[in-house]
Amino acid sequence: MGKSSLLAAIGPSGSGKTHTVFGCAREPGMVPLALRRIFCENESSGTESSRVFYLSMFEISSEKGKAERMIDLLHDGGDVCMQNSILKGLQEAVFRDAQQAESLIAHGMLKRATAMTNLNSQSSRSQCIINIRYDSENGDEEVDRKTSSTTLTIVDLAGAEREKKTGNQGARLLESNFINNTSMVFGLCLRSLLEHQKNRKKPLQKHYQNSLLTRYLRDYLEGKKRMMLILTVKPGEEDYLNTSFLLRQASPFTKIKFKTLEQPVNLTCSKRPNQALPQADQLKKMKFSNCDASLVDEGNIDTGFHLNMRKEIAGKVVKDCPNQNIKGSANENSNEIHVLSDGYISWGIQEKPSLNGDYLKNKVAKDREYLIMQGLSKALWSVLKQYKKKLEGIEIENCHLRDSLTSEKTKSLDLENELASEKLRCFDLENELKELKFRCTCCNEASANVLAVLHDAGSNLSQYQMVEGQEVNTEVSSYSLSELEQTENEKKMDHSATDSIVTFASDSGGVEEQCPQLIHQQLEDLSKGSDDSEYVNGFKDTSIGDACSRSQEVSTSNDAQDLICYEETGMVAISSTSGATSPCLYTGQKSEQDAVSIVGDVKKLEPEIECVSNESSPATSIEGEMGMVAISSTTGATSPCLYTGQKSEEDAVSIVGDVKKLEPEIECVSNESSPATSIEGERAKSSQDYEDLKDAEGEPTKTENDDSLPSVENRIACVAAQPHTVLDSSESPRKDCICFDVDEEQLNYEEGKKQQVPLVTNLPKEEWDTNNITKCLSHLASSSNFQHKEKPKRRLLPASCLLVKDISTLDVKDENDKPKGARGGKRVTMDDKIRTQGICGNICELKSLKSLHSCIQAIVLHRTHFMQKFSY
Ligand SMILES: Nc1ncnc2c1ncn2[C@@H]1O[C@H](COP(=O)(O)OP(=O)(O)OP(=O)(O)O)[C@@H](O)[C@H]1O
């Protein structure tokens, strides 16, 4: 009776202060629990009619963050003002039971200012205060009625907020400032009270003046009334700072002692009892009043409520403190229990003097402190348990993370190994790339060389085609001349062979013999005229290669009907002209036997020649193993002429005889009507030479070819210095032919035989002198070499060799190498064509332009393949 108390919930925002105070339907808070307890005691005491309860509810909020205002929540939100710690305008609601009070409180809660923040969807933006006042109606006097009033105040403070967490702005931010300020002032008041209690010399600071809430709760904050604080914390990890801060700030408040006691009874004045009497007198009064109250007020409602509370708490204390001496004194009528229960309820505010002396008083105080610390430790223990659970979860998560880390490490190791292997692979690829680059460079160079070679070859071919009889192949000529000399020496041993210089003419009736003196003179003239590198007696000196090129050109042309082919060691000359009925064929032999059997060979070869020769083509050549077989055939030719050269040294000995034997055959196969030395294709190209010759000779220019050819050919005297050497009947002198100018009188150039002019002038056998021949040949060789030195224009050998090399490395097969089964005869390969249609020994490996083109294509493909590999 007459013991007002305060129950305040403090803590950060969203920690559950409102939930703790008001609760919910399943979990009632402090207010419903208190109401139920009050009415439960009242029912048990049977004094229901004698007690009246009043309920008031208001809130303290901020007005735009500046002024504070108090609003009555139970009566339409009327403003409340405070004057001298007395609220004016606050109306109380009378209630008779707990349900009625709860409904009133619920109605007031609807009017409370709340707002949504980041921390709480229904965050309290004001301090809510609920007063439950008990007033006894037994006394008749007003004074007694006032003195019998007791108030239980329950405060739901707005939680302190951190701006970073709440993210409040504008009005919410002003509210937050107000809330934080009020919380701060409340804490300052408590701290000041604690410091004042520790050191009496320190004055009690008047921090309560800084807010309406502290001003209203001044008695409690100055230790004049009992007060109990409920700390609410959040167990979240992110709230650790707030929790620790609150515990550190509130833990000293447990040491606050409320030594002042209210004067519940016998107070005649309306002033506060603690203010009316000094502290010492209050203590004395308290002793007596408590004793009296315990004795006199027995059976009273208020006394019964307190006794029930004391009994419950005393049982709890006895249960928790079995070793204490108070165990046996747990009697509801005893003072010890009374003291213990009071101490427990009032949270160290009251210190009731014990009837048994100071010993018991100190002991009770210690027990009280122990209980307080025990409660705090339990709260801390629960918090620690929650953190422990969290730590366990974190440890489990760490274990999973470690496992995953281990697996990731193994994966990373595997990846590193793979990376190392890839690096090695890249290194190999780089090396391969370098090699490919190098090969591409080589291919480029090769292709450039091939193009250059082609260009040179084309130019040379054109030059060969354009220029006729200008050059002499020194190699072949020197070789032929040396063999001629050797053969002449051998001829000395064989008298039958020494006088054999054979010349062949396609015209059977055109063979003439001249005296050795004349020949000697002609040779000297030739040697003298050799200084002229371009012409010998008005004719261009030509090489075998030139002859071959010309003959090849002639053979490829539709109009040409002649073919002249050479081999390394021998030469086959076939001369035929258009319209010739029988082409002429001759093959030089190196042995007597071969020469003797020329006719037979020719006869034997005729079917083969006919077989491989194409009637539509003007000429076909077949190369033999030791010699060369040249086949000349023209359209309409009746019998081809063939001669095969052999490498035997004794061939030259029996040349004369052989030739004699062959002459009938040659005459037989030669076409009398057509001069074998005339080549239409060449004639056209050498027309300039003819003109020069005619101009030099002073002969009248003949417009018809048939007339011009004999005039030119009559000027040619060919000496067969080697058995396998064939004197071409064409107008161009060969390297193995001795060409010299012949006087007009000496030429068998009869008027009626213009078309059968002898092409070659032979010396009579009896007039041939070996010395003359040798000398003549030496002059010829020297002149040829000299001419060749002055005209080093042939570069086809390295080009052809390079080309062949490239082709061999690329493994390119020429389509001409395919067998021609349709022909049914001897298979003519590309090599055969090259050899038979080759220009000379130096360019014998130079294949046709078609093969060159295919070669270039293959090189380009090869290069493209390398570039694709490089780009990958
Ligand atoms: N012990 C609890 N049991 C169940 N729910 C709780 C408990 N404590 C708090 N809550 C819930 O937490 C939320 C916030 O609680 P409450 O509003 O009481 O916090 P508060 O401290 O009053 O915050 P503020 O200071 O911002 O008003 C509410 O939804 C409430 O239901």
In a domain, 757, yes or no: no
Q: Answer whether residue 621 is part of any domain.
A: no
The residues near 793 (Cβ < 8 Å, ≥ 6 apart) are 460, 463, 471
Q: How far apart, in whole angstroms, are the C-alpha atoms of residue 225 and residue 41?
A: 23
ipTM: 0.96
- What end-to-end distance do the CA atoms of the chain give, in Å? 100
* Segment holding 778, helix H or strand E: helix 770-790
Q: Cβ atoms within 10 A of the Cβ of 608, count?
A: 15
Was 509 annotated as part of a binding site? Answer: no
What integer pLDDT is reported at residue 492 of this predicted model? Answer: 54
Q: How far apart are CA 799 and CA 801, in angstroms?
A: 5
Q: How confident is the model at residue 418 (pLDDT cuts 50, 70, 90)?
A: very high
Say which residue, 415 or 503, is predicted with more confidence.
415
Testing ligand 1's pocket by substitution, the residue of 118, 120, 165 carrying the most ligand atoms inside 8 A of its CB is 120
Report the distance separating Cα 845 and Cα 598, nearest Å.
29
Asked if 382 and 237 sit in the same domain, the reply is no
| Within a domain: 611 | no
In a domain, 480, yes or no: no
Residue type, 620: T
Pick from 359, 338, 229: which is nearest to 289 by CA?
Answer: 338
Scan for tokens 């360019």, then name that residue: 843
- Domain presence at residue 664: no
Domain stop point among 422, 442, 462: 442
In a domain, 43, yes or no: yes
Domain stops at, among 255, 272, 303: 255
Q: Are residues 248 and 397 in the same domain?
A: no
Domain count, the chain: 2
Concatenated DSSP letters of 269-284: SSS-HHHHS-HHHHHH
**Ligand 1 lined by 28 (C-beta under 6 Å):** no
Query: Separation of 184 CA from ligand 1 center, angstroms?
Result: 21
Helix (H) or strand (E) holding 229: strand 226-231
Residue nearest to atom 12 of ligand 1 (CA): 16
Please report whether residue 843 resides in a domain.
Answer: no
Closest listed residue to residue 93, CA positions, set 150, 146, 133, 47: 133
Helix (H, G, I), strand (E, B) or coil at 619: strand
Residue 394 within any structural domain of the chain: yes
Tokens of 440: 């591409």
Q: At 81, which CATH number?
A: 3.40.850.10
Could you say which of 229, 255, 281 is where a domain stops?
255
Residue (of 817, 810, 811) closest to 847 by Cα position: 817
Work out the percent of the chain whose per-residue pLDDT is above 70. 40
Q: Strands (DSSP E) along 89-225, which ranges?
A: 93-95, 114-115, 123-124, 127-136, 150-156
Q: Which residues contact 582 (CB under 8 A, 6 or more apart)?
A: 637, 638, 639, 640, 641, 669, 670, 671
Tens of pLDDT, residue by residue over 146-157, are 456 788 999 998
Which atom of ligand 1 is least distant from the CA of 158? Answer: 25
Based on the fold, state whether residues 382 and 240 are members of the same structural domain.
Answer: no
The answer on 235 and 382 residing in a single domain is no
Per-residue pLDDT at 365:
83
Q: State whether 57 and 188 are in the same domain.
A: yes
* Protein residue whose Cα sits closest to atom 6 of ligand 1: 16
Atom of ligand 1 at shortest range from CA of 123:
26
pLDDT at res. 493 = 53
pLDDT of amino acid 451:
84
Query: What distances in angstroms separate CA 863 from CA 162, 453, 676, 800, 850, one per listed residue?
Result: 76, 18, 50, 21, 20
Structural domain harbouring 376: 371-442
pLDDT above 90: residue 760? no
User: Does 223 show up as a binding residue in the annotation?
Assistant: no
236: CA distance to ligand 1 center in Å? 13
588 is in an annotated binding site: no
Q: Which residue has the higher pLDDT, 35 or 679?
A: 35
Question: What CA–CA distance (Å, rounded) separates 167 from 155?
Answer: 26
Q: Nearest CA to 390 among 166, 244, 240, 243?
A: 240
Higher pLDDT, 558 or 433: 433
Same domain, 241 and 381: no
Please tell me the distance between residue 369's alpha carbon and the centre of ligand 1 in angstroms: 29
The predicted structure's pLDDT at residue 553? 42
Mean pLDDT for all residues in the chain: 61
Per-residue confidence at 201, pLDDT binned at 50, 70, 90?
A: confident
Contact predicate 708/490, CB 8 Å: no
pLDDT over 60 at 725, yes or no: no
Tell me if 16 CB under 6 Å of ligand 1: yes
Percent of the chain with pLDDT over 90: 8
**Burial class (CB within 10 angstroms; exposed 0-12, middle 13-18, buried 19+) of 419:** exposed
Let me know whether 42 and 171 are in one domain: yes
Contacts of 291-299 spanning 24+ positions with Cβ under 8 A:
291/355, 293/1, 293/264, 293/265, 294/335, 294/338, 297/1
pLDDT bin (cut points 50, 70, 90) of residue 409 is very high
Highest mean pLDDT among 456-460, 712-716, 807-811: 456-460
